[in-house]
Amino acid sequence: MTSSPSDARDRRPVAETPVQKASLIVGVVFLVVGVAGFVPGLTTDVGDLHGAGHGSGAMLLGLFQVSVLHNIVHLLFGIAGVALARTVKASKLYLIVGGIVYAVLWIYGLVIDKDSQANFVPLNTADDWLHFVLAVGMIGLGVILGRRRSPRTV
């Protein structure tokens, strides 16, 4: 069966621009991390994985405290990144707003008592500093790669 020219126009790469590629890659990484949080071997003490709260004893890569809620948030964040990679505007928005969310989460992690009910995600010191790196990285990617480029003339 042959395809018509209109079929070819409808099939476009999901991530044509650098900002779309960044959104797609970040989204896929979050999906992988979300799944990894449930995998024994990648996550230690999976039997101590709680739905939420600071009492969860599961540690992704033996370093980052995780819970079912934490893993689901990563999965949802990943789905959003992949879905929003379809357009430049949505990709830029995902990276910048997502980076702001992680900046807020970083600050939240710094100010709460890790042993209190306020630590419902749960967060530990490694999570806090990873959130800082994610905030800077995502905002930076969104701003730098999301700039409008003037069309090239040949």
Q: Domains of the chain: which residue ranges?
A: 14-145
DSSP secondary structure letter of residue 53:
S
The predicted pLDDT at position 154 comes to 44
Contact 70, 35 (CB under 8 A): no
pTM for this model (two decimals): 0.83
Q: What is the C-alpha separation between 100 and 34, in angstroms, rounded?
A: 20
Q: What is the C-alpha separation between 95 and 15, in angstroms, rounded?
A: 14
The number of residues making up the chain comes to 154
Q: How many CB atoms lie within 10 A of CB 39?
A: 11
Q: How far is CA 148 from CA 7, 75, 124, 141, in A?
A: 28, 30, 38, 13
pLDDT above 80 (res 153): no
Instruction: Assign 6 a pLDDT band (cuts: 50, 70, 90).
Output: very low
Contact 4, 14 (CB under 8 A): no
Q: How many CB atoms lie within 10 A of CB 143?
A: 14
pLDDT above 50 (res 40): yes
**Cα 142–Cα 145–Cα 147 angle in degrees, nearest 5:** 95
Instruction: Assign 151 a pLDDT band (cuts: 50, 70, 90).
Output: low
Q: Max CA-CA distance within the chain?
A: 63
pLDDT in tens, 108-140: 999 999 888 888 888 889 999 999 999 999 999
Q: How far is CA 22 from CA 12, 27, 33, in A?
A: 17, 8, 16
Instruction: Assign 84 a pLDDT band (cuts: 50, 70, 90).
Output: very high
